[in-house]
Amino acid sequence: MPEAELKVTLISYTKDPEQTVCAAIRQCYSNKGGTELKEKTKEEVVKRLIKQIISSGHTSTIEHANFTFAVEGVSRALTHQLVRHRIASFSQQSQRYVEEKGELDYIIPPKIRKDKKALEKYEADIKKAHDDYKALVEQGIDKEDARYLLPNAAETKIVITMNARSLLNFFEKRLCTRAQWEIRRMANKMLDEVKPVAPTIFKYAGPTCETEKICWEGDLNCGKWEIIEGAELRSKT
């Protein structure tokens, strides 16, 4: 059975995302229309205003920029975590309608891959689960019921749309070393995709130890905050 490969592609985004955001910012303080404001905003003004609103925390205006990603080669364990991010749209490959015939693609956690005995057991159990799934389907059991046997490791594909504000929140939570390795790896690839098209907005993306020099994890912190100049450790309570 093959191990799935992570792929993240930015397939669509708001045209001129930072100009659009800047027009929204300026609209709050201008009697001119958004179209005129967007056309007449200089690049240096765009950068200054975006920096200003992000540093002040008044970030509702960056919600006007949207980004859509096509993601492949992730586990269903990852997508269970992903949908906890509320302000987003998700369209995921359905196990009710897409039959897992042939070989099952799956994800292997790094610690299991490094342990020979653990890896052998892991792959054997996945193969058994998939064989049992196929046997049920062949017996006439509906795919939507047989899929209950399939593991969290099973590869899935998903299309994700988030606005810039939600993405910054996502990156804050999922680029933190406290996030699980797989979703952190995906978040890094998503950030690599959006930085070239909205560099000013996503200049401020990352965990709070990097962006605000504050760690909120209390006793669960990873220790990274200690090596960042000026960083503080604050209690979660």
Give the active site residues: 174
The angle at the Cα of 115, spanning 109 to 117, to the nearest 5 degrees, equals 115
CA distance 118 to 212: 40
Q: Which two tokens stand for residue 50?
A: 């975006």
Q: Which residues of 50-80 are buried (b: 16+ CB within 10 A; e: fewer)?
A: beebbeeeebebbebbbbbbebbbbbbbbbe
Pairing outcome for strands 232-233 and 214-215? parallel
104: closest CA among 122, 126, 85, 124? 126
